[in-house]
Structure 1
Amino acid sequence: MTRLVDLSVVTRHTPSEATPVTVDLLDHRTGATVLGLTPQDFPDGMAISNETVTLTTHTGTHMDAPLHYGPLSGGRPAKSIDQVPLEWCVGPGVRLDLRHVPPGDGITVDDLRAALDRAGHHLRPGDLVLLWTGADALWGSAEYLAKYPGLTGDGTRFLVESGVRIIGIDAWGLDRPMQSMIEEYRRTGDRGALWPAHVYGRTREYLQLEKLANLGALPAATGFTVVCFPVAVAGAGAGWTRVVALLDKESVAGEGSGAAG
């Protein structure tokens, strides 16, 4: 039997978000007055509820579209999130264990190759690569915003040129923390230090999944399918996404026989 593993965080107001999330509730009783009725007009003396939520498209687990990186990708108009082909959003998952890379450091091509070797996997077109840093353990705290490693520009190129269209990470962002990048730029004057993973998307289109969680719940580095359909916000550079891993029968059976994560 197929088992589902939720790889998403709960969207809510938390110190782990850089921008606030507000939820204004229209409760079951007040909802009746909006319709010009009273609660007593409804069964059980209650109408129906509603919520008004204010947040950014980069709040919670979400997918970045090529438009987020720049107006052009590969010399063509960059896709907004509502233009992302759904076929890209389902495919074989590959979890790369990068928990040894220190917070603030860049995840290099050598790091990726070593992780692939440990996983016993050769990248194939259509693979969805999930970078396992362990940073989701800090979700709910302000430390989550700054204590994680990020993918380098060369690392991004390596994955995308290997046929990967979607790269995910269990951290606040795919690049290194903002402060680490800005400090390097101010020290060196090298503009390439600023958001290199994102900026690579101006060369070749790819998608990012940020703020993943629970990658440690996957029983192995491969043997599962990732499903990650973004909400189609017209003309937006990102969309909220419920990311789920579907474990195949072999993976589910392997859990009972002590399969390593």
Structure 2
Amino acid sequence: MDADEVITLPGGPVRPVDLSHPLGPTPSEPAPPHIARTSHADGAELWDHWYGIPAGALPLGAGFAGEVVTASTHAGTHVDAPWHYAATAEGAPAWTVDEVPLSWFIGPLVILDVTDLATGELVTPPLIDTRLAALDHRLAPGDVVAFRTGADRLWGREEFWEHGAGLGRDAVLHLVDAGVRLIGTDAWSLDRPYPRIGEEWRGTRDPERLWPAHFAGADRRYCQVEKLTRLDEVPPTGATIVCLPIKVAAGSGAWVRATALVPA
């Protein structure tokens, strides 16, 4: 199937839009993934080593290609589970990524454009309500809200993780209280950029400024999907997002192939 080719589902035709970055080495990751590749010739040598089957006996004269990936579960486009934020959430043990209900990762997608905000600017509840009103949309339980900061245009460059507006504690709780369980961003983090937070700490020593969006997850269960892309190619409302994370045992997060299904 060609990229973004229209497919027909029981509910009607949709155009899938890939919202994910590839998982692989990139200057945009402070701890970039590493991929060790096995060629078809390597695969043939493996069968010879294990079973004494020569390459010439294989149907194509070659074996199977493969990869061994070494990567943080928070590299590339990924989901953060409640366990990532704290050991407890809402007074109980926080869920790991394999414990979060799958229903949290599928839902109506609402994209809020905050590209007009400066890097490091805080997204507030009133701003969220204003942007929702402009879309004539009222949040409903199960909605997935993603913020388009424009940071994804820097993917592939070292400065990617230094850009984008971010949410604070009040904004996260405002969305969760409305029934939103998955919040997304095209930036490196749902919080404001890490370098900005570190720089402010040296000047203010204010604990409340330290990753308030993440730590809000200790009070209310929610997940976030970070490092999305192509949000500008999806309508603000009307699409469905599917972003099922890899089932990493007891994982604090997992890689995801986030996809928007846009009615065609």
> Which TM-score band (shorter chain)?
over 0.9
Amino acid at match of 2:66: N
Displacement of 1:38: 2.9
1:56 corresponds in structure 2 to 72
1:223 corresponds in structure 2 to 238
CA–CA distance in 1 between the matches of 2:142 and 2:29? 30
1:245 corresponds in structure 2 to 260
Is the CA contact 1:98–1:111 (under 8 Å) kept in the aligned structure 2? no
CA–CA distance in 2 between the matches of 1:176 and 1:10? 23
Unaligned runs of 5+ in 1: 253-261
Report the TM-score when normalising by structure 2: 0.91
Could you tell which deviates more after superposition, 118-127 or 60-69? 118-127
Is the CA contact 1:30–1:39 (under 8 Å) kept in the aligned structure 2? no
1:107 to 123, 144, 154: 123
1:85 to 84, 101, 118: 101
Q: Which residues of 2 match residues 7-46 of structure 1 at below 5 A?
A: 7-35=19-47, 36=49, 37-46=53-62
Q: Which residues of 2 match residues 171-190 of structure 1 at below 5 A?
A: 171-190=187-206
CA–CA distance in 2 between the matches of 1:107 and 1:24? 40
Structure 2 residue 145 is the aligned partner of structure 1 residue 145: no
Amino acid at match of 1:30: D
State the SS of the aligned residue for 2:236: coil
Q: Which residues of 2 match residues 106-125 of structure 1 at below 5 A?
A: 106-125=122-141
State the SS of the aligned residue for 1:143: helix
CA–CA distance in 2 between the matches of 1:27 and 1:198? 41
Q: Deviations over 1:100-146 (max 9, x none)?
A: 11011111112211211111111111100010111111111111110
Displacement of 1:229: 0.3
Report the TM-score when normalising by structure 1: 0.93
State the SS of the aligned residue for 1:167: strand
State the SS of the aligned residue for 1:4: strand
Could you tell which deviates more after superposition, 186-195 or 36-45? 36-45
Aligned-residue Cα RMSD (Å) equals 1.0
CA–CA distance in 2 between the matches of 1:178 and 1:198? 12
Displacement of 1:210: 0.2
